[in-house]
Amino acid sequence: MITVQNLKKDFFVPEILPGPFGTIRSLLSRKGKTVTAVDDISFQIDQGEFVGYIGPNGAGKSTTI
């Protein structure tokens, strides 16, 4: 059995500045934003069950699995 309760996953996306100096500054800076990929997902898969997992690109399918 697989049980998932209240799964949440956030990613930090760094701000990338233009140009060669901007690239260097981006590597040294922690500026950016947090993006929530999955928020409050719960499910249970019992032994012997087959599950199909569908959704649009960027919906968090791979992140959930």
Q: Answer yes or no: are the C-beta atoms of 10 and 35 closer than 8 Å.
A: yes
Would you state the pLDDT for residue 24? 77
Structure tokens at 2: 């697989």
| Tokens found for residue 36 | 């929530």
pLDDT of residue 48: 94
The residue segments making up the domain with residue 58 are 2-64
Confidence (pTM)? 0.59
Consecutive 10-residue averages of pLDDT for the chain (65 residues): 92 84 77 89 93 84 80
- In terms of DSSP H, where are the helices of the chain? 19-28, 61-64
Structural domain count, the chain: 1
Residue pair 41/7 in contact by the 8 Å Cβ criterion: yes
